[in-house]
Amino acid sequence: MAMLTKIRRHPEKWSLFRPGDRILLILIGILVGICSGLAAVALSRSLFATLHWVHSFHGSWWAFLLPGIGAAVSSLFLNKVMKEGAGHGVPEVIYSVSRYGGLMRLRSSWSRLISSWLTIGSGGSAGPEAPVVMSGAAIGSNIAKMFSLNERQRVTLVGCGAAGAISAIFNAPIAGMVFTIEVILGEWTALNIVPIAIASVAGTEISRFLQGNNIVFDHRQFNIGFVDILASFGLAVIAALASILLTRLLRQMPGLARKAPLPIWLRAAVGGVIVGLIGAAFPVVLGEGYHSIQAMIDGVFTPGMLLVAVATLAKMLATAFTLGWGGSGGIFAPSLVVGSLAGLTFHRCLTFIWPAVPWVDEGCFALLGMAGLISGMMQAPLTGIFLIVEITGGYEVILPLIIVSAISSTVCQYIEPASFYLKELVDKGQLLRPGTDARVLSDLSVHELLERDCICVTRNMLLRDFVQTVQKSHRNFFPVEDEGTGRFLGIIHLDDIRPYLFDPGLYDAVILEQIMDHQVEVVHPEDELPDILRRMDERRLFSMPVVSNGRFLGMISKATLLDRYRQELRVQTQFIA
């Protein structure tokens, strides 16, 4: 047993892994992919069963209370039992990857599964994808911890978890891979792509093994003409506007909810009841909505143009009330539903205005609308394209699909520079993508940049003795300390006192306290580098003394910073064999 533990702790000792850690990462990646695939299947199966069961109550007058109860229990579970914040899941994973090298809590690997099952299963308008991504990522992170891997490997395994989860829930390996690279990691290297691809395969395979190889939204052949391609430009703009609207609603709602003087679980209940009421009028908004999507793609979604347009808005509101008031879940599935409703609305507008034109089936527009919404919400055009191709099994729509995804994400980026997932992180300055300025500056600390070769002098030193010190020093700065306490008092810059240095008449007449700079701008070791650099720029300084608890530690200078910055950038972007 001790032997086994030893092997597990130090896998690099196995002779198989001598050539490097790639094989090791791939093997662990398979394990992570399987585990997160299982989590995804578990959630989607239990949701399916629960929604079916809850559906039987829909005739009752009190059915609108169900989403409220579900959201309240979910909120209680997450906040009081698990002690985790609400949140959507994906931003938390991105934050952990940026800031903590992918470190995540073990309980995160299942807490979101339960809370989102409660929210969505009872009819709340949210998606199971983000919870599954978070769960998969936490599984990856904790498996990495178990094997005592380093941060780079851990981040790759977090990516494996996310990829496995998305692949399993949508039966879409490429979408899982692309989503992970584009949204979660933001980095595409030869080293991380292979384990993530393998994990996607593992996740997909486990889902196919357990629930069969089904394309999520099967459909008939679409015959796409030139007019449809033209129309897709218009749809792209509609999808972008819908994305912006949904993003804004989701962002404003928590602020509104906080104004309600209610405990957190009661707020979730209120939100859920509102969703239930909307659902009584438009059943399409309830749950994750995959059934409605299928109906729309098949062209059997009956309501007319105005009704569909109102349903689109209703779904957005329902999603905002579910997630903004404390329910738990993601925006993936609601985006798909809103997208297909928007596509349908657009198609009905077109047929209303130009009834003579032979438009393609409305299902095709529903499908394009989904791609537009996903690309717009996440500002991830590749994810939109590959996800829709894979979940619909429709390669023939690829051309309008690319147009809609590209334009929708561009328009959204123009209006909202940071996507829904990243907005909060960007605002807090916590989005640190690999190889960027922010990443390098946040990794370097003041301690690593300290220059300790300054010679300290005391305040009562005569200028004559100081001249001797100047002879020995390589630096232009001389920190002045109190001889008794060692407290930092100020600094002497050679440039400031040059005239006195060559005046022997002053040698015995001046002590250092009289010529030092008392009002010196200092840096503390905990200060953030971007902040320090800003202060240097504002005051046109090239170096600043670093002082901790009144003691001088060293100097920090732009010259050393440039040196270390380049070194860091090279090391971070360099591919490790």
Partner 1 sequence: MRMTKSEIAECLNLPASTLQRWIRQGRIPIQKKGGEYFFEPGTLQRWAETNRLPFRFLENEPGVKAQNLDGSVEAPPDTLFAAMQRGGVIYDLAAEDTESLFSEALEKIPGVPEDLKPGFLERLVQRERLSSTGIGKGVAIPHPRNPTVDSLERPLISTCFLKKDIDFNSVDNRPVFVMFFLLSPTPKHHLHLLSRLSFCLRNDRFVDFLKTRPAPEDLFARIADVEAALDHKEAF
Which parts of this chain interact with partner 1 (CB under 8 A)?
Answer: 10, 12, 101, 149-153, 443-445, 447-448, 450, 564, 567, 570-572, 574, 576-577
Q: What is the 3-state secondary structure (H, E, C) of 18-86?
A: CCCCHHHHHHHHHHHHHHHHHHHHHHHHHHHHHHHHHHCCCCCHHHHHHHHHHHHHHHHHHHHHCCCCC
Contact 420, 378 (CB under 8 A): yes
Return the number of the residue (74 or 153) whose C-beta is nearest partner 1. Answer: 153
Strand partners, 490: 480
Q: What is the DSSP letter of 359?
A: P
Shortest distance (Å) from residue 191 CB to partner 1: 10
What does the DSSP assignment read for 151-204? Answer: HHHHHHHHHHHHHHHHHHHHT-HHHHHHHIIIIII----HHHHHHHHHHHHHHH
Shortest distance (Å) from residue 445 CB to partner 1: 7
Long-range pairs for 473-479: beta carbons < 8 A, 24 or more residues apart:
475/451, 475/555, 477/543, 477/545, 477/555, 478/454, 479/454, 479/545, 479/552
User: From its phi and psi, is residue 524 left (phi > 0), alpha (psi between -120 and 50) or beta?
Assistant: beta
Both tokens of 20, joined, read: 């490097």
Shortest distance (Å) from residue 151 CB to partner 1: 4
Long-range pairs for 497-505: beta carbons < 8 A, 24 or more residues apart:
500/463, 501/463, 501/467, 501/470
Number of Cβ within a 10 Å radius of residue 93: 31
Shortest distance (Å) from residue 450 CB to partner 1: 7
Number of Cβ within a 10 Å radius of residue 114: 20
Both tokens of 436, joined, read: 């960027």
Shortest distance (Å) from residue 436 CB to partner 1: 15
Shortest distance (Å) from residue 253 CB to partner 1: 37
Return the number of the residue (60 or 148) whose C-beta is nearest partner 1. Answer: 148
Return the number of the residue (18 or 45) whose C-beta is nearest partner 1. Answer: 18
Return the number of the residue (5 or 221) whose C-beta is nearest partner 1. Answer: 5
Shortest distance (Å) from residue 470 CB to partner 1: 15
Return the number of the residue (42 or 444) whose C-beta is nearest partner 1. Answer: 444
Both tokens of 132, joined, read: 């599954």
CA atoms within 13 A on the CB side of 80: 9
Return the number of the residue (259 or 452) whose C-beta is nearest partner 1. Answer: 452
**CA Rg value for the chain:** 30
Return the number of the residue (152 or 208) whose C-beta is nearest partner 1. Answer: 152
Return the number of the residue (447 or 464) whose C-beta is nearest partner 1. Answer: 447
CA atoms within 13 A on the CB side of 422: 22
Q: Which residue has the tokens 């093997």?
A: 27
Shortest distance (Å) from residue 153 CB to partner 1: 6
Shortest distance (Å) from residue 158 CB to partner 1: 13
Say which residues have a Cβ less than 8 Å from residue 31's Cβ, sequence separation at least 6: 143
Shortest distance (Å) from residue 557 CB to partner 1: 14
Strand partners, 511: 462
Shortest distance (Å) from residue 155 CB to partner 1: 9
Shortest distance (Å) from residue 475 CB to partner 1: 18
Return the number of the residue (130 or 149) whose C-beta is nearest partner 1. Answer: 149
Return the number of the residue (220 or 447) whose C-beta is nearest partner 1. Answer: 447
Shortest distance (Å) from residue 189 CB to partner 1: 12
Return the number of the residue (472 or 518) whose C-beta is nearest partner 1. Answer: 472
Q: Helices (H) and strands (E) in the chain — how many of each?
A: 25, 5
CA 208/CA 562 separation, integer angstroms: 52
Return the number of the residue (76 or 157) whose C-beta is nearest partner 1. Answer: 157
Contact 34, 203 (CB under 8 A): yes
Nearest in space to 303 (alpha carbons), one of 290, 292, 289: 292
Return the number of the residue (33 or 554) whose C-beta is nearest partner 1. Answer: 554
